Amino acid sequence: MTLHKIPFNDLHPREDRAAIDRAIARVIDRGWFVLGPEVDAFEHEWASACGTRHAVGVGTGTDALALVFRALGIGAGDEVITSPLSAAYSALAVMMAGARPVFADLDGTRLTLDPAAVEAAITPRTRAILPVHLYGQAADMPALSAIAERHGLALVEDACQAHLATCGGRPVGTFGVAAAFSFYPTKNLGALGDGGAVVTDDGALADRVKRLRNGGQRTRYHHDEFGVNTRLDEIQAAVLRERLPLLAAWTAKRRKLAASYRAALAGCPLTVPPECDAGHVYHLFPVLSLERERLQAHLSGAGIETLIHYPVPIPRQPALATETPAACPVADRICRELVSLPLYPSLAADVPALVGETLRRFQPRMAVAPDPRG
Ligand SMILES: *Cc1c(COP(=O)(O)O)cnc(C)c1O
């Protein structure tokens, strides 16, 4: 393992450390660890932060998605159209509900679902559209909402990378019938372990997700339907409650770092995807390079760690190989060129300039200027 001067991420609690210690102690002293007052309070606070009427805490973002599909009655024989570029969990959640993920290609600028490709992928078996608000930027929700409405499809948002993001000024999670969030430690709002939530305005849907996360029980020991066991626990909810008030300031820091990167990378031999919506919350900061392995090695040599989100389009993952692989040439190309630069709230403000300087010294082999002599 190479030790980097500038690691890709740093998950050590900082200004929130004392509050987290107190929150954990509070739960231990109370002696109530699953489905108690912290989860209750966090559900209200998270719904309010998202601008939805309900939030339901669950074990992971993946479970949040799978339970939404199950609560909507989407399962065997049904198709859900989703993005080929995401954490594979988006599509795995569709499969967990028993339905089949169908992939529509990307808008190559926004890097989220291309609405025209979605419309072309609709079949008589399509029940839902699952856009992913990737890297912190919303998918084109006005266009996708119009398609869902025109075809009578459920719109479910994967907002696992998009806490507090907006699309045309409107919060993500309020466009669809429901949305899923993840509180995995690296997410913009992260717990000290796994966590997730469903948000929705539909009270009956929220109630059904509450039953499904808890073994399908209506009352204790009475299992009315086939549920699973996936609950946000009290310690994680208490941690998230301490962090939620800091999220707006953390998001502002992410945006400021992103603006610094854009300024610092101007003129560097790579492509920076444009900001298509001011509501972008910069979960990640990917750039595109035709020689990304060499670019990664160059940065690594300067002590700067990078990662790839994601190297394989989901339809090309072996776990999905039983599904008919849709042609997604834009996603194929993007997955070959992506590389994510470090961006997190505790990153020093001068790192983007340092990365820019380092990349100005990067000599691409392929994208050389044409020889003027012909
Ligand atoms: C993290 C993530 C998930 C899965 O969330 P978990 O909490 O890890 O299960 C799903 N979709 C996207 C886009 C993600 O980034």
Cβ contacts of 234 within 8 Å, gap of 6 or more = 27, 30, 32, 33, 34, 35, 36, 37, 38, 39
Contact yes or no for 241/45 (Cβ under 8 A) = yes
Q: How many whole angstroms separate alpha carbon 285 and alpha carbon 262?
A: 10
Q: How many whole angstroms separate alpha carbon 242 and alpha carbon 20?
A: 7
Ligand 1 atom at shortest distance from the alpha carbon of 93: 10
The single residue listed with the structure tokens 């990664």 is: 296
Mutational pocket test of ligand 1: of 182, 307, 309, the residue with most ligand atoms within 8 Å of the beta carbon: 182
Profile the chain (374 residues) by mean pLDDT over runs of 10 residues: 86 97 98 98 98 98 98 98 98 98 97 98 98 98 98 98 98 98 98 98 98 95 96 98 98 98 96 98 98 97 98 94 77 98 98 97 73 42
Length of the chain counted residue by residue:
374
Say how many C-beta atoms besides its own lie within 10 A of residue 7's C-beta: 14
- pTM of the entire structure? 0.96
- The most distant pair of C-alpha atoms in the chain lies apart, rounded to whole Å, by 82
Ligand 1 atom at shortest distance from the alpha carbon of 283: 15
Q: How many whole angstroms separate alpha carbon 339 and alpha carbon 154?
A: 33
Determine the 3-state secondary structure of 217 from DSSP: strand
Helix, strand, coil tally for the chain in percent (to 5): 40, 15, 45
Q: Is the CB of 167 under 6 A from ligand 1?
A: no
Q: Is the CB of 230 under 6 A from ligand 1?
A: no
Please confirm whether the linkage preceding 310 is cis (ω < 30° from 0): yes
Judge residue 20's burial from the number of C-beta atoms within 10 Å of its C-beta, 0-12 exposed, 13-18 middle, 19 or more buried. Answer: middle
Q: Which domains does the chain have, with CATH numbers?
A: 17-245 (3.40.640.10), 247-360 (3.90.1150.10)
**Centre of ligand 1 from the C-alpha of residue 28, in Å:** 28
- Radius of gyration, CA atoms only, the chain: 21
Q: Is the CB of 87 under 6 A from ligand 1?
A: yes
Contact yes or no for 134/161 (Cβ under 8 A) = yes
